[in-house]
Amino acid sequence: MKMLTEQEIRSAFVNCTKGEASRLNVPRDLAESPWDDLDFLGWRDPQAPDRAYLATELDGRTVAVALRSSGAAAWQARRSICSLCVTTHTGGVSLLVAPRAGRAGKQGNSVGAYICSDLACSLYVRGKREVGTRLHESLTVEEKIRRTEANLAAFVARVTA
């Protein structure tokens, strides 16, 4: 994906208030992120590790989503599969919950997904970050990237629906 600026990211949040979007921690080293290898930028707030964020481009538009860890510790110890990149981890997948956009979110509705705890799905898919166990699949990297993009688009659609 193309590089995003801090301002582009802050103004792209679909499921938090403008005030929250202006205060949340965006990585300072954006210029050093491996943009060419990213389907989305995902990060955790170093000051509030239960908060995670992702930003991506969908249909030519930048979209950012605020997420929270559910704190389901039992899940983290188990072997589980990321719902975006389909990487199998032992202890490296978190249940992340996103408030839904608009009125649904204000009423407390949210959607959850099991996602790599470090939000580095793009790197796992490309083999740029390793995991202990890898499900053998006959898909090419290109096919895995397309699947990750489709899964991410479906997740964002559930947040913004």
Binding site for Zn ion (CB under 5 A): 82, 84-85, 87, 116, 121
Our CB check for Zn ion shows the closer of 21 and 83 to be 83
Our CB check for Zn ion shows the closer of 16 and 85 to be 85
108-116: long-range contacts (C-beta < 8 A, 24 or more apart)? 111/155, 111/158, 111/159, 112/70, 113/83, 113/84, 113/155, 114/75, 114/80, 114/81, 114/82, 114/83, 115/42, 115/52, 115/67, 115/82, 115/83, 115/84, 116/82, 116/84, 116/85, 116/87, 116/89, 116/92
- Closest separation between CB of residue 42 and Zn ion, Å? 9
Indicate the residue whose CB is closest to Zn ion. 82
Q: Which two tokens stand for residue 160?
A: 């913004």
- Closest separation between CB of residue 41 and Zn ion, Å? 13
- Closest separation between CB of residue 44 and Zn ion, Å? 14
Our CB check for Zn ion shows the closer of 9 and 115 to be 115
- Closest separation between CB of residue 151 and Zn ion, Å? 9
Our CB check for Zn ion shows the closer of 21 and 64 to be 64
